[in-house]
A = this chain, B = another copy of it.
Amino acid sequence: MAKTLSTIVSSASQTVEISHSRPTVIIGERINPTGRKKVLAALEAGNFDIIREDTASQVAAGAAILDVNAGVPGADEPALLQQVMRIVMEVTQVPLCIDTANPAALEAALSIYEGKALVNSVNGEERSLGAVLPLVKEHGGAVIGLCMDDGGIPDTPEKRLAVAGKIIERAGKLGIGPEDVVIDPLALTMGADSTAGRVALETIELVVREFGVNITMGASNISFGLPDRKYINAAFIAMAIHAGLTCPITNPLVTEVATAVLAADLAMGRDDYSMRWLQGYRQRQKAAQAD
């Protein structure tokens, strides 16, 4: 069993520690035009009000890090990503998770970021490892490693563990320690494959036992195509936290999911005197009164 590690990310003025012994860190997912037509249309029109709103509301709802994605088809992604980041950084001081598959956009983003960013993401493909890891090293960030490689997404936890190991090893060779690699086991859709949840949970357990690294995951894909998704996502995120998930990428405005995260921290003994649970309860009461 590996010793568990802490990952530090920061902005110019704030530091966040992700660790297996501290409360779960929520990475807010909403600043992303993928699958959100309203955001896509606003970015295409050069209207950034929705970005400001999504920034403020996610931080108010408990996001400790914000994912920023500016993947608008046909746009100049390096310039647009910088622009969106600047808007976000005007509104909040929380550290950012820079989310792009475009190395030029990643470099542009890292070049204007003050602090230690979380980079979303590298995977086990040679092309990805070669493009992303040197930029992370040069700019001093932490990086999310997806459990997929040139052969696609492996179907067993053991094979996903092997991809995680490869990413951690290649990062290490460049001088990026395992404390700066956050592994994403990849949660596929259970509607298509009823073992998808179990494979993700088992991958988390194997990776934590073997490497002690922090774990992220998009926790909503799992329920795609099924009814009452928020209940599935809430139970799944609690189970994943028990397995070793430490920094889910999710929407903190979904009360069921945010509440499940607080309850899971409570059950893991990471909420002294139930302070965070009680604070969350008061916020929900206040929000209900405001409605």
Range for the number of chain A residues in contact with chain B: 35 or more
- A131 contacts partner chain B, Cβ-Cβ < 8 Å: no
What is the bound-complex CA distance between A156 and B274, given in angstroms?
A: 20
Within 8 A of B (CB), among A263-291: 263-264, 266-269, 271-274, 277-278, 281, 284
- A11 contacts partner chain B, Cβ-Cβ < 8 Å: no
- A34 contacts partner chain B, Cβ-Cβ < 8 Å: no
What is the bound-complex CA distance between A239 and B196, given in angstroms?
A: 17
- Whether the Cβ atoms of A190 and B268 lie closer than 8 Å is no
Interface segment, A47-55, A75-83, A102-110, A228-236?
A228-236
- Whether the Cβ atoms of B232 and A267 lie closer than 8 Å is yes
What is the 8 Å Cβ interface bit string for chain A, positions 220-241, against chain B (1 contact, 0 not)? 0010001110011011101101
What is the 8 Å Cβ interface bit string for chain A, positions 239-274, against chain B (1 contact, 0 not)? 101110000000000000001100110111101111
A274's contact among B191, B243, B271, B277, by CB below 8 Å, is which? B191
What is the bound-complex CA distance between A126 and B195, given in angstroms?
A: 44
- Whether the Cβ atoms of A274 and B242 lie closer than 8 Å is no
Q: What is the CB-to-nearest-CB distance from A231 to chain B, in angstroms, rounded to a whole number?
A: 5
Residues from chain B with a CB closer than 8 A to the CB of A197 are 266-269
- Whether the Cβ atoms of A259 and B231 lie closer than 8 Å is yes
- A170 contacts partner chain B, Cβ-Cβ < 8 Å: no
User: So how many copies of this chain end up in the complex?
Assistant: 2
- A119 contacts partner chain B, Cβ-Cβ < 8 Å: no
Q: Quick one: given A239-B242, A274-B190, are A268 and B232 in contact (CB under 8 Å)?
A: no
A232's contact among B196, B266, B272, by CB below 8 Å, is which? B266
Within 8 A of B (CB), among A94-117: none
- Whether the Cβ atoms of B232 and A235 lie closer than 8 Å is no
Q: What is the CB-to-nearest-CB distance from A213 to chain B, in angstroms, rounded to a whole number?
A: 20
- A201 contacts partner chain B, Cβ-Cβ < 8 Å: yes
- Whether the Cβ atoms of B260 and A234 lie closer than 8 Å is yes
Q: Quick one: given A226-B277, A228-B284, are A271 and B234 in contact (CB under 8 Å)?
A: no
Q: Can you name 21 A-B residue pairings with CB atoms under 8 Å?
A: A190-B267, A190-B274, A194-B266, A194-B274, A197-B266, A197-B268, A197-B269, A198-B268, A198-B269, A199-B269, A201-B242, A201-B268, A227-B278, A227-B281, A231-B260, A232-B263, A234-B260, A235-B260, A236-B267, A239-B267, A242-B242
Which residues of A approach B to under 8 Å, CB–CB?
Answer: 190-191, 194-199, 201, 222, 226-228, 231-232, 234-236, 238-239, 241-243, 259-260, 263-264, 266-269, 271-274, 277-278, 281, 284
Pick the 10 closest A-B CB pairs, nearest first: A235-B263, A197-B267, A198-B269, A235-B238, A239-B242, A195-B269, A227-B281, A232-B263, A235-B260, A238-B238
